[in-house]
Structure 1
Amino acid sequence: MPALRAVAVRYQAVPGAGPKKAPIMLVGEQPGDQEDLAGEAFVGPAGKLLDRVFEAAQLERRTIYLTNAVKHFKWEPRGKRRLHKTPAQREVEACHYWLEKELAAVKPKVIVALGATALKSVLRDGKAKLGDMLGKAIEHEGRWVVTVYHPSYILRVPDEETRHQAFNVMVEGLKLAQQLLERQPEEPAAQGGS
């Protein structure tokens, strides 16, 4: 019977979690293996690293809404392990409906996009480039959007110096997100529409 249970939870959708009216929403790429098994966002290794980023940025996790652009874990088998596989743009688009529902319900003032997939989903732009947006704040549809690395990137980087730099980009991005809570973005029409 336990084997049947394990199979049943492998493909579950992982919803976002956090306060119903959080001022900051973090959007990641997709749940990982641990998130899929637990049914909760950011509880695996990337979530533990994200907790360290929160601490360094003096931000409490319980005040943030955490979600993902894609709500299911896309993976490929490698022996007994399930390894992450980047979602295709069509999968990001297919899941955008649920992200829009979360945005409408939570009404964050600032969205922090964790990595390229999240950025493309938030902006609805499959050509958006992570390198062009890292650490910057832009206005999009009446909200601020700040882009930082995804914590799983830091876990995969082979050298300590790059890990340290990427960690600092995340910390500074979350500090910027907090500062932006005090500033109103310009209305989209004032910039010619977004």
Structure 2
Amino acid sequence: MAPATRSATAPPAPVPERPTLPRMRSAVQECRACDLWAGATQAVFGDGPARAEVVLVGEQPGDREDVEGAPFVGPAGHLLDRALADAGIARERVYLTNAVKHFRYRQRGKRRIHQRPEAFQIAACRPWLDAELAVVRPRVLVCMGAVAAQGLLGSAVRVTRDRGRPLDSPLAEDVSVTVHPSSILRAPDEPARRAAYDAFVADLARVAAVLDG
């Protein structure tokens, strides 16, 4: 994949004038607001009810998501599903999406290795995320990982410092940050993975308490 380059002539994200989730899911396939579309199989839009109580925002699609066209269907998504169940949050209450809608990677042989999106790519995709939040209007917003947290809440947010507590933001009634589930999978050994998973479930359990109380 070619190196990321900012284009001064890139068109803005083609968010429909009267956005709905189906309209945006179709329109996002035509987005050329940054360079990532050229190397991706497809744009991967959010998934979940249009009136979900909670929106979970990750970083970007991974390899499986890019192929299948749905968010959180790879290993990190399977871990997230388990954590939601353990925290007591029913999947039908959740809308899942990413800060960036195209997969950024580098090619290594036949493998595509995840690369963190650049700031201008995150900014180019922000209109989609803003429109999703405007349509869904969740009570609770959770940013998973630094890309989502800093992209939505600003560079002063630190996931390790600020996780698991409500943050001041106009984006939802309750806004918080936590780790991205993929970081749990990258833990160096089983005890570390177990501890990271338990902490992640604890963050989600706080969300469950907000939803139910």
Quick check: TM above 0.5? yes
> Would you say the 8 A contact 2:87–2:208 is kept in 1?
no
Q: Which ranges of structure 2 fall in alignment gaps of 5 or more residues?
A: 1-37
Given candidates 158, 166, 172, the residue that maps to 1:129 is 158
**Cα deviations by residue, 1:26-69 (Å, 9 ceiling, x for unpaired):** 00000000000000000011111111101211222222000001
Flag as ranges the 4+ runs of structure 1 deviating above 4 A.
none
TM-score (norm 2): 0.77
Instruction: State how far apart, in whole Å, the 2-side matches of 1:43 and 1:135 are.
Output: 24
Structure 2 SS opposite 1:66: strand
1:180 to partner: Cα distance: 2.0
Aligned Cα root-mean-square deviation (Å): 1.7
> Would you say the 8 A contact 1:9–1:37 is kept in 2?
no
Instruction: State how far apart, in whole Å, the 2-side matches of 1:151 and 1:66 are.
Output: 13
Residue 12 (structure 1) aligned with residue 42 (structure 2): yes
Aligned to 2:122: 92
Q: Which ranges of structure 1 fall in alignment gaps of 5 or more residues?
A: 1-7, 184-194
Letter in 1 for 2:132: E
Residue 180 (structure 1) aligned with residue 210 (structure 2): yes
**Cα deviations by residue, 1:129-169 (Å, 9 ceiling, x for unpaired):** 11121112213105311211111101111122221121112
TM-score (norm 1): 0.85
Percent identity, please. 45
**Cα deviations by residue, 1:75-99 (Å, 9 ceiling, x for unpaired):** 0001100010011122111111110
Instruction: State how far apart, in whole Å, the 2-side matches of 1:81 and 1:176 are.
Output: 37
Structure 2 SS opposite 1:42: coil
1:122 to partner: Cα distance: 2.0
> Would you say the 8 A contact 1:18–1:64 is kept in 2?
yes
